[in-house]
Amino acid sequence: MMPMSRRQWLGAALSMPALVRGQGCGAHVVVVGGGFGGATAARYLRRYAPQLRVTLVEPARSFYTCPFSNHYLAGLRGWDSLRHGYDGLRAAGVQVVHAQAVDVNAARRSLQLADGSRLQWDRLVLSPGVDMRWNALEGYDEAAAGRAPHAWKAGAQTRLLRRQLQAMADGGTFVMVIPDNPFRCPPGPYERASLVAHYFKRHKPRSKILLLDAKNNFSKKALFLQGWKALYGGMIEWVSLAGDGQVVRVDAAALEVETVFGARHRGQVLNVIPPQKAGFIAGRAGVVDDSGWAPVRGENFESRQVPGIHVLGDASLAGPMPKSGFAANNQGKMVAAALAAELQGRPPPAAVYANTCYSLVGPGYGISVAGVYRAQEGRLVDVPHTVGISPLDADAAFRAAEARHGAAWYAAIGAAIWCG
């Protein structure tokens, strides 16, 4: 048998199987979380098995995406362009319940909501995103985030950070604290630095950006460093773990941070991205291990801790697969296909997944990294020879094309998940 090419693997990962419709399958699947993972799973469950009852539980009436929120910070995109509603999912036959899930009884297959009501389920899909690990950095709690925002959940924090950047005087310093892996959107901090630099270059050209990192390496590092030098000169300074970049204490009132070896850095705007963990309801369901994340089986993202519960998106611990919107969307399709097959008594589909992370270094300057993954003995592994990354020697036309591809992906994915 000839080995599959990267293109063939990617095609297999992105084209979900056309499942034969089941006969009278009335099972109830409850999905918690209306973001890239959960909303996708709910929509595709209805598509693959229309007989299923599918309920999506999401407290917010509108979902604002973390992907492309960095564009908003730089003034390249309006706030409303990040907004998605749930009418399209309702039109697809998904029952949408705007409520907060507060507890899970796996033995009784019951989900408790904040209003005291309960939903019974045959299968439960959790896609709750991330929560911040408050006080993992000394002094950084929820109150401190009101002064030194993380802006790592799109919403009020994002808008606060933009106001702070706009109010900062020319010549000031924007300090960003970056956590160790794993965390939501590994290239995200570096794209944020890029686009804040673009904003400064246009409006506050004497300003500086200081990145204090708990790692020695990061996604697309060489590409980002090349782009920063080409577009922004010496505006951005990145300090690695080896260079004493790991922050251990935050004084939000003074807009000051302290590193492992006692160096103190103060900014006019302080953006602290703290360590993270799976969203609250994952802990209540008992699917989280000591890492703070939910380990899953690669074939269908079923919890390794609690049978009958599936965890996808940023909350899951999925081996080499990163925590990204693209990955969560792909996982949602795959989990929907696997559940539809199981509940209709059909063989499961081949478990192949894909991810692409697009980043914008500046307007018309895009870079990306892509990978394909498959299940092997219950775990996800990289498919050999499928990793793709933007070339360092690409010309301006190539970078511009990648920027367009990223924008096209965002437009297409939003329409496919949330629109009618």
Question: Residue 74 — very low, low, confident or very high, per pLDDT cuts 50/70/90?
Answer: very high
Contact 239, 205 (CB under 8 A): no
The count of other CB atoms within 10 Å of the CB of residue 93 is 15
Q: What percent of the chain has pLDDT over 70?
A: 94
Backbone angles phi, psi at 157, to 5 degrees: -65, -40
Residue 204 confidence (pLDDT) above 80: yes
Specify whether the CB–CB gap between 194 and 227 falls below 8 A: yes
Task: Report the mean per-residue pLDDT for the chain.
Answer: 94
**pLDDT tier for residue 18 given thresholds of 50, 70 and 90:** very low
* Confidence (pLDDT) at 25: 59
Q: Quote the crossing angle between the two packed helices 36-48 and 325-343, to the nearest 10°.
A: 30
Write out the DSSP string of 296-333: B-TTT-BBSSSTTEEE-GGGEE-TT----HHHHHHHHH
Q: Are 44 and 337 in contact (CB under 8 A)?
A: yes
Instruction: Please answer whether residues 97 and 113 qualify as being in contact, where contact means their C-beta atoms are separated by less than 8 angstroms.
Output: yes
Q: Residue 106 pLDDT > 70, yes or no?
A: yes
Asked whether the predicted pLDDT for residue 372 surpasses 80, the reply is: yes
User: Which stretches of 45-126 are assigned E, i.e. beta strand?
Assistant: 53-57, 63-64, 83-84, 95-97, 101-105, 110-113, 118-120, 123-126
Residue corresponding to tokens 């399709």: 333
The domain locations on the chain are: 24-131+276-349, 135-272
Q: Concatenated DSSP letters for 214-232?
A: S-S--TTHHHHHHHHHHHH
The pairing of strands 28-32 and 83-84 is unpaired
Closest residue by Cα to residue 206 from 197, 218, 214? 197
**Per residue in 31-47, pLDDT tens?**
999 999 999 999 999 99
- Name the nearest CA neighbour of 284 among 95, 118, 128, 133: 128
Other C-beta atoms lying within 10 Å of the C-beta of residue 26: 10
Two tokens, residue 290: 């000591």
Residue 411 has pLDDT above 70, yes or no: yes
Residues with Cβ within 8 Å of 53's Cβ and at least 6 positions away in sequence, in order, are: 26, 27, 28, 29, 95
Tell me which fold the domain 24-131+276-349 belongs to.
FAD/NAD(P)-binding domain (3.50.50)
Over the Cα atoms of the chain, what is R_g? Answer: 21
Token pair for 322: 């990163």
| Dihedral sign (CA 71, 77, 83, 87) | negative
pLDDT of residue 2: 44
What integer pLDDT is reported at residue 420 of this predicted model?
A: 67
Contact 125, 94 (CB under 8 A): no
- Position 11 pLDDT exceeds 70: no
Specify the higher pLDDT residue, 285 or 2. 285
Question: 12 falls in which pLDDT band (50, 70, 90)?
Answer: very low
Choose the weakest-confidence range: 159-163, 179-183, 416-420. 416-420
Q: Could you tell me the fold of the domain covering 135-272? A: FAD/NAD(P)-binding domain (3.50.50)
- State the amino acid at position 202 in one-letter form: R
Share of the chain above pLDDT 90, in %: 93
135-272 has the same fold as 24-131+276-349: yes
Residues 132, 395: Cα–Cα separation, whole Å: 39
Q: Classify burial at 401, counting beta carbons within 10 Å of its beta carbon; exposed 0-12, middle 13-18, buried 19 or more.
A: middle
Average pLDDT over residues 265-284: 98
pLDDT greater than 70 at residue 341: yes
